[in-house]
């Protein structure tokens, strides 16, 4: 990234000490001053900056930030200026963001006529804004608004205040069917942190909703809730629903304890509710890799399961290599789920294991030829290794020149140059929404030239996942990474596979949980590794330095590999979720590497390991110039 940050930080320090400008700044300083004033809510500085004019490419940002700050204040906003900005920059990312802020302010002011008038043109309204729109229409007498909302309420996030108010109106108007309410209740109870339960059941008819006290006990202490139930407890729908909710909640931590209580109480449930209870038990037991999961799923019979639970029915059978049960569970999926690449692959494996070689081959052909986890595995079962990909498609000089001169792309690069990464990425993505493949590839190459590696990779990947491997599988910082990998006896292709997945080579990358830098090292891990390798000058801030981050990250990779049988699959899982979990996820017997990966309980880690291992195959093919095998890399996972 070609950004000179030192003067920016020094200058901003001076800016923050001066509440009012003695002289209006120019150039980049003006843009940075406006951004800082927006962050601190400094209306006086924004007033002064917005009153001036500048030919700077980012001048529109000064005007927009000024208006955004006005909208966040208690004083009435300058509606004329807002409308003028929206008209002048119609179709731009800034106009869309300003419109969203304006709508939020109009809703806060309960200016429903104004809200409806400003609604048109918002590209991607949030659930909160959609709820505000329905409420606005309802409040001015549009009788169809609540009907529209009732038809889609099950898919809305209820965290927004407007959506809570909307659900209250839908409930009061009797537009929420009890079956839909209980379906959403069950969906919420399948999460590890259920929320909005009282709001969801508020739409039930009087006398049919559970009490607030019962809900709280069920969520906080499901074991106690179940232990207090007696035979004949299910006098109404709410009783059985809370019992099943408590069962599922207890099964998250202890499926066997949940089953013991279910066995005592299930006679009081309908056949359908009994099947649902067995599904909950099978699902949670499968995530804990308990052998009982297959039996409990089987006891659910022909229950129509959600996709998540049906997937775990397959994984439970895979874990035991019960190929008949694998095939049965996949064939019970919806056509859409069954067509997913993962389940096409495992159905093919089941068919082959059960003697249907030709049927298995035809299924493998459907997904073969794609450079992803399942495509590679399918190709190898068909006798085809992953071969070094061809050179990237060249771009004409004319297209490259057009992209470099594009005003939206230039604005994005100018924002990146000023370290305004969030704004730069918004501009970049907004421009590429309507771009053709030729433009996108040229933009990816421009991003690479500018050192914006994540944009180069992501933009090229959106064009064609089977082409332009040189752009999509970059090897920046090789002068830092390769010597470190060699000194620690690490597979360079695997290291790059991890790096690509962790940060897309963004040195400033920071995760929501605090992981830092190229290799996403947690501060505590960095401190621990630094002591292990004798690094005496470790500071948390040094995780943003590429050389320090690579040193600590690769050293940690070596430590994790040594602790996990030098197995890259286990180490990838351990790097993402912790070595202890990677150990616990092994079986009592030898397990095929692909089955180990498929049955990782955490969705994020499972997807991460698949991508890291496929990345490593592609990097190895590019680096070594010879065919590679994913199956060999996955290998077998030894018993715990």
CA 510 to chain centre: 15
Q: Specify the CATH class of 177-382 in words.
A: mainly alpha
Cα separation, 529 vs 557, in Å, equals 10
Select from 363, 418, 377, 315 the least CA-distant residue to 27: 418
pLDDT at 154: 86
Residues 624 and 438: their CA atoms lie apart, in Å, by 29
Q: Helix (H, G, I), strand (E, B), or coil: what is residue 637? A: strand
Tokens of residue 392, six digits: 């990237």
Q: What residues does 591 pair with on adjacent strands?
A: 637
How many Cβ atoms sit within 10 Å of the Cβ of residue 524? 10
Supply the CATH classification number for the domain 397-467: 1.10.1240
**Which one, of 212, 202, 197, lies nearest residue 170 by Cα?**
202
**CA-angle at 415, arms to 411 and 416, nearest 5°:** 120
What integer pLDDT is reported at residue 329 of this predicted model? 98
Phi-psi sector, 232: left (phi>0), alpha (psi -120 to 50), beta:
left
DSSP count for the chain of H helices, then E strands: 39, 2
Query: Residue 229: CB partners within 8 Å, gap ≥ 6?
Result: 243, 265
The DSSP secondary structure of 319-344, one letter per residue, reads: HTT-HHHHHHHHHTS-HHHHTSHHHH
**pLDDT computed for residue 394 by the predictor:** 86
1.10.530.10, 3.60.20.10, 3.40.50.300, 3.20.20.70: CATH of 478-637: 1.10.530.10
Q: How far apart are CA 215 and CA 202, in angstroms?
A: 12
**For residue 6, what pLDDT is reported?**
40
Task: Write down the pLDDT at residue 445.
Answer: 96
pLDDT at 572: 98
pLDDT for position 12: 41
Following DSSP, what letter does each residue of 162-224 receive, concatenated? HHHHHHHHHHHTT-S-HHHHHHHHHHHHTSSS---HHHHHTTSPTTTSPPHHHHHHHHH-HHH
Pick from 627, 602, 629, 603: nearest CA to 614: 629
C-beta separation of 471 from 445 below 8 A: yes
**Ordered DSSP codes for 535-601:** --S--GGGGGSHHHHHHHHHHHHHHHHHHTTT-HHHHHHHHHH-HHHHHHTS-SS-EEHHHHHHT-S
pLDDT along the chain (640 residues), means of 10: 39 40 72 96 95 93 97 93 96 97 95 94 92 95 94 88 90 90 94 91 89 95 96 91 98 97 94 97 98 97 96 98 97 97 98 98 97 98 96 91 97 97 97 95 97 97 91 97 98 98 94 93 96 94 95 97 97 97 97 98 98 98 97 97
CA dist 503 and 515 (Å) reads 10
Closest among 284, 339, 274 to 313, alpha carbons compared: 284
């Amino acid at each position: 990234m070609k950004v000179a940050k030192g003067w920016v930080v020094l200058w901003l320090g001076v800016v923050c000490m001066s509440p009012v400008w003695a002289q209006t700044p120019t150039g980049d300083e003006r843009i940075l001053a406006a951004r800082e004033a927006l962050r601190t809510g400094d209306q006086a500085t924004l007033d002064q900056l917005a009153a001036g004019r500048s030919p700077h490419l980012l001048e529109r940002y000064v005007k927009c930030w000024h208006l955004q700050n006005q909208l966040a204040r208690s004083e009435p906003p300058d509606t004329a200026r807002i409308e003028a900005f929206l008209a002048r920059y119609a179709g731009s990312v800034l106009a869309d963001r300003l419109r969203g802020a304006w709508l939020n302010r109009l809703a806060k002011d309960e200016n429903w006529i104004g809200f409806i008038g400003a609604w048109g043109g918002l590209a991607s309204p949030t659930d909160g804004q959609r709820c505000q729109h329905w409420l606005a229409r309802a409040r001015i007498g549009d009788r169809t608004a609540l009907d529209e909302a009732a038809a889609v309420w099950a898919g809305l996030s209820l965290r927004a205040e407007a959506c809570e108010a909307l659900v209250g109106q839908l409930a009061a108007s009797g537009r929420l069917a009890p079956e839909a309410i209980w379906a959403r209740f069950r969906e919420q109870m399948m999460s590890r942190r259920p929320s909005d339960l009282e709001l969801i059941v508020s739409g039930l008819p009087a006398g049919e909703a559970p009490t607030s006290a019962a809900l709280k006990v069920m969520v906080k202490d499901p074991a106690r809730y179940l232990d207090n139930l007696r035979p004949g407890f299910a006098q109404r729908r709410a009783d059985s629903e809370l019992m099943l909710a408590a069962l599922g909640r207890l099964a998250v931590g202890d499926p066997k304890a949940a089953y013991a209580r279910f066995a005592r109480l299930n006679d009081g449930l309908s056949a359908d509710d009994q099947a649902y209870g067995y599904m909950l038990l099978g699902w949670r037991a499968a995530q804990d890799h308990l052998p009982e999961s297959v039996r409990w799923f089987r006891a659910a019979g022909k229950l129509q399961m959600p996709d998540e639970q049906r997937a775990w029915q397959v994984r439970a059978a895979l874990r035991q290599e019960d190929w008949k049960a694998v095939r049965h569970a996949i064939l019970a999926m919806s056509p859409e789920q069954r067509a997913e690449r993962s389940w096409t692959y495992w159905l093919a494996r089941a068919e082959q294991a059960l003697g249907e070689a030709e049927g298995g081959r035809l299924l493998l052909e459907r997904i073969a030829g794609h450079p992803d986890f399942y495509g590679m595995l399918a190709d190898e079962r068909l006798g085809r290794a992953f071969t070094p990909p061809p050179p990237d498609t060249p771009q004409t000089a004319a297209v490259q020149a057009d992209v470099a001169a594009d005003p939206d792309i230039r604005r994005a690069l100018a924002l990146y140059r000023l370290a305004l990464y969030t704004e730069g990425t918004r501009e970049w993505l907004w421009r590429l929404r309507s771009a053709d493949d030729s433009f996108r590839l040229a933009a990816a190459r421009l991003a690479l030239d500018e050192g914006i590696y994540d944009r180069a990779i992501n933009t090229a990947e959106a064009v064609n996942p089977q082409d332009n491997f040189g752009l999509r599988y970059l090897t920046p910082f090789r002068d830092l990474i390769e010597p470190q990998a060699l000194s620690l006896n690490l597979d360079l292709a695997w290291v790059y596979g991890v790096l690509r997945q962790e940060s897309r080579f963004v040195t400033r990358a920071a995760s929501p949980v605090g992981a830092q830098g190229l290799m996403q090292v947690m501060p505590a891990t960095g401190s621990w590794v630094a002591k292990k390798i004798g690094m005496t000058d470790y500071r948390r801030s040094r995780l943003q330095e590429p050389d320090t981050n690579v040193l600590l990250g690769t050293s940690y990779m070596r430590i994790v590999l040594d602790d996990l049988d030098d197995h890259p699959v286990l180490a990838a899982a351990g790097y993402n979720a912790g070595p202890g979990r990677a150990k616990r996820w092994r079986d009592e017997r030898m397990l095929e590497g692909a089955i180990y990966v498929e049955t990782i309980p955490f969705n994020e880690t499972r997807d991460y390991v698949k991508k890291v291992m496929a990345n490593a195959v592609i990097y190895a093919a590019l680096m070594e110039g010879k065919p590679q095998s994913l199956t060999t890399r996955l290998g077998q996972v030894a018993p715990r």
